[in-house]
Amino acid sequence: MGDPKKSRRTWTTPRHPWRKETLLEESRLLGLYGLRNKRELWKAASIVRYWRHRARTLLAAPPEIREKEEKTLIGNLTRLGLLREEAKLDNILDLRVEDLLERRLQTLVFRKGLARTIYEARQLIIHGHIAIKGRRIRSPGYLVTVDEEPHISYYPYSPLAAKVAEKTTAE
């Protein structure tokens, strides 16, 4: 079972981290999505790599196993908003890191206009001003499902929510 204090890593670093193209691409994504460090980017890349690996193994699996697990995998990715309902396994192989980073709470708060910048979105989440369905979420890397997306708002008991309410009633 293992000691809970010594948890396993959830990411892998790039094989060649000092290549110029790798550094430029990582820096671009860090700025575009407001990530704190490259570890957050590597975690997202590892998650996408895992899904793509599962899709490749399912393509080689026998039809009876493939059919059942394909529906489960596509259903999970559809629920996260990464694929459409009519998607196939080949669509999973087309997933990119940017697709997953678009589903993070930090990005969605910024895209909804609850924050002026992507960095402000991160700060609002960490300080507890953002909630989903009235439940405070303090993790900027939280992956928001399609069902939860319309329910992203300010936390009802946050002082920020009162200021926004006053501002909208004054207009």
Task: Give the three-class secondary structure for 50.
Answer: helix
What proportion of the chain, given as a percentage, has pLDDT over 90?
85
pLDDT above 90: residue 80: yes
Q: Taking the model in full, what pTM does it have?
A: 0.91
- pLDDT band per the 50, 70, 90 thresholds, residue 50: very high
Task: Give residue 2's pLDDT.
Answer: 62
Q: How far apart are CA 112 and CA 153, in angstroms?
A: 9
Please state the domain extents for the chain: 20-101, 105-170
Strand order in the sheet with 135-136: 135-136, 130-132, 152-154
- Encode 138-158: b = buried (16+ Cβ within 10 Å), e = exposed: eebbbbbeeebeeebbbbeeb
pLDDT above 80: residue 54: yes
Sign of CA dihedral 14, 17, 21, 23: positive
Q: What are the φ and ψ backbone dihedral angles of 136, each rounded to 5 degrees?
A: -65, 130
Task: Give residue 166's pLDDT.
Answer: 84
Residues 153-160, mean pLDDT to the nearest whole number = 92
Q: How far apart are CA 160 and CA 22, in angstroms?
A: 39
Task: Just give the CATH number of 105-170.
Answer: 3.10.290.10
Residues 116-133, mean pLDDT to the nearest whole number = 96
What proportion of the chain, given as a percentage, has pLDDT over 70?
99
Q: How far apart are CA 133 and CA 149, in angstroms?
A: 9
- pLDDT band per the 50, 70, 90 thresholds, residue 72: very high
